[in-house]
Chain A
Amino acid sequence: DAKTTQPTSMDCAEGRAANLPCNHSTISGNEYVYWYRQIHSQGPQYIIHGLKNNETNEMASLIITEDRKSSTLILPHATLRDTAVYYCILTNTGNQFYFGTGTSLTVIP
Chain B
Amino acid sequence: DSGVTQTPKHLITATGQRVTLRCSPRSGDLSVYWYQQSLDQGLQFLIQYYNGEERAKGNILERFSAQQFPDLHSELNLSSLELGDSALYFCASSPRLAGTGELFFGEGSRLTVL
B108 neighbours in A (Cβ, 8 Å): 41-43
Q: Are B107 and A42 in contact (CB under 8 A)?
A: yes
B105 neighbours in A (Cβ, 8 Å): 43-45
* Contact A99/B106 with A41-B88, A49-B100, A94-B100 known, Cβ cut-off 8 Å: no
Pick the residue among B37, B56, B103 that contacts A46 (CB under 8 A).
Answer: B103
A57 to chain B, nearest CB (A): 11
B2 neighbours in A (Cβ, 8 Å): 43, 45
B98 within 8 A of A: yes
Q: Mark A48-71, 1 if CB is under 8 A from B, else 0.
A: 010000000000000000000000
B24 within 8 A of A: no
Choose the segment among B13-21, B41-49, B65-73, B78-86 that binds chain A (4+ C-beta atoms closer than 8 Å). B41-49
A96 within 8 A of B: yes
> Top 9 closest A-B pairs, CB basis?
A43-B105, A46-B102, A99-B43, A94-B100, A94-B99, A44-B105, A93-B98, A43-B107, A43-B106
